[in-house]
């Protein structure tokens, strides 16, 4: 594959300037530029996604409220009983 890239002249330097094919030390992409672009990328979770996640979490809590309450009460009772032993 590298031979084909050198033959077609697609090898570029790390600084982003194209060099004549056949010179050693060149890669088919500019790693430094790509890494910088990746770090500067501002894509991510938007407000809509965060709001949807919060709505789903609130819905789950509302649906399983009694189960969550009984679980928390049971855990707290066990903690209280075991704390008295210490």
The pTM of this model reads 0.41
- Cβ(53)–Cβ(37) under 8 Å? no
- Nearest CA to 16 out of 37, 4, 33 is that of 33
pLDDT at residue 5 above 90? no
Question: So what's the pLDDT on residue 71?
Answer: 95
In angstroms, the CA 85 to CA 18 distance is 74
pLDDT in tens, 23-68: 555 555 677 888 788 777 767 767 888 899 999 999 999 999 999 9
């Amino acid at each position: 594959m590298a031979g084909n890239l050198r033959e077609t002249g697609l090898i570029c330097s790390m600084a982003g300037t194209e060099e004549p094919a056949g010179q050693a030390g060149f890669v088919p992409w500019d790693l430094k530029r790509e890494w910088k672009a990746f770090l500067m990328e501002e894509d991510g979770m938007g407000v809509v996604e965060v709001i949807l996640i919060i709505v789903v979490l609130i819905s789950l809590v509302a649906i399983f409220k009694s189960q969550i309450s009984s679980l928390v009460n049971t855990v707290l009772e066990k903690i209280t009983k075991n704390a008295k032993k210490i």
